[in-house]
A and B are shown apart, each in its own frame.
Chain A
Amino acid sequence: QVTLKESGPGILQPSQTLSLTCTFSGFSLSTYGMGVGWIRQPSGKGLEWLANIWWDDDKYYNPSLKNRLTISKDTSNNQAFLKITNVDTADTATYYCARITMGITTYFDYWGQGVMVTVSS
């Protein structure tokens, strides 16, 4: 059974760094073809892909945010991480992590419940 769960600070101030953790089970990020992605959703709005990390440590970022994002993983503890630097109110959203499987095309087949993050002074 594949499960993912996000955790984060809840609230932070503008210009701070947002650190998010995705703790998962039911698969391993050391297995060929496995990956984890981060996606966010402002309240009442659509979904925005942020970054992916793969079993071989390949990393991909949304170009619109690339300079502010860092994705990483801890394979032994089944965790993936995302850092966003210099946050502002536009980063207020629910942040999801999701499993991705390499294939002809990639898609997010299992999602965490999401963690709400508010940026406010």
Chain B
Amino acid sequence: DTVLTQSPALAVSPGERVTISCRASESVSTGMHWYQQKPGQQPKLLIYGASNLESGVPARFSGSGSGTDFTLTIDPVEADDTATYFCQQSWNDPPTFGAGTKLELK
């Protein structure tokens, strides 16, 4: 299975720019997607196909990367962005998720 590695946690101040990384154990081309999950809620799709912004998601969120290295950027970060962010690949079977990066605001 393709293993996705994410940093466990980040802390930033509102108004700053934050990058959340996801590294795949093998190439996933652009088959990488990002989800936001707030406590007690279901995951929400933010970015699909590595860099495509899902409809209704603020333009503060952006994604980049291909192959094995991917980044989710939030600029500027707002207080409401406190959540856990998961990457997910669908290029290789089976689909797999990263363990998540917990974003906290200072």
Contact = CB atoms under 8 A, between A and B. Distances in A.
A24 interface: no
From A96, A107, A109, residue with most partner B Cβ within 10 Å: A107
A47 B98 CA distance: 8
Interface residues of A, number: 21
A106 B94 CA distance: 12
Interface stretch (B19-27, B40-48, B71-79): B40-48
Given A107-B48, A111-B43, A62 B94 contact: yes
Interface string A57-70: 00010111000000
B99 interface: yes
A107 B86 contact: no
Interface residues of B, number: 25
Nearest to A62: B94
Contacts of A111: 42-45
Contacts of A107: 33, 45, 48-49, 88, 90
DSSP class of B's interface residues: helix, strand, loop or mixed?
A: loop
Nearest to B93: A60
B42 A113 contact: yes
A105 B98 contact: no
B95 interface: yes
Interface string B90-103: 11011111111000
A4 B67 CA distance: 32
Given A48-B97, A49-B94, A109-B54, A96 B33 contact: no
Interface of B: 29-31, 33, 35, 41-45, 48-49, 54, 86, 88, 90-91, 93-100
Interface of A: 39, 46-49, 60, 62-64, 96, 104-114
7 A-B pairs closest in CB distance = A105-B31, A111-B42, A47-B97, A107-B33, A49-B95, A107-B48, A46-B99
9 contacts: A46-B99, A49-B97, A96-B42, A105-B33, A105-B49, A107-B49, A111-B42, A111-B43, A112-B42
